[in-house]
Amino acid sequence: MTRLLVSLGLALSTALPPVAAEAQSRRDEQDSAYDASRKGHVMPLHRIEAMVVPRYEASGASYLRASPEYDEERAIYRLKFQRDYKVFWVEVDARNGREVGRSGR
């Protein structure tokens, strides 16, 4: 019985790390954005969204709210949108809210 549990534990441990690592990476990204915002280095995500999202929604795009990313090194928020079955990302300077790039369109 013990061998079975050990084997099962090993099987699960090899199956879970990518998911756990991705979740941890996402938490680290969110913590980094929050800390930078709290210190006044960047704008909070909700302010960036208030500046950018209405413009794209007015042109028929849907904002995929569960998907924003933060690049700490570049101080860039990456917002994900969908229009007509096509997904695209808008990169926004987190310090001033200016759009700095688009991809996937």
Task: Give residue-wise pLDDT tens across range 25-57.
Answer: 556 656 666 566 676 678 999 999 999 999 999
- Percent of the chain residues topping a pLDDT of 70: 63
pTM: 0.68
Q: Which of 50, 94, 51 is nearest to 69 (CA)?
A: 94
Provide the domain count of the chain: 1
H-type helices in the chain, by residue range? Answer: 2-15, 17-38, 45-58
Q: Which two tokens stand for residue 33?
A: 């954005």
Strands 86-93 and 76-83: antiparallel
Q: Which domain holds residue 41?
A: 2-103
pLDDT of residue 91: 97
Whether the per-residue pLDDT at 2 is higher than 70: the answer is no
Q: Average the pLDDT over 16-22 and give the result.
A: 60
Q: 5 pLDDT band (50/70/90 cuts)?
A: very low
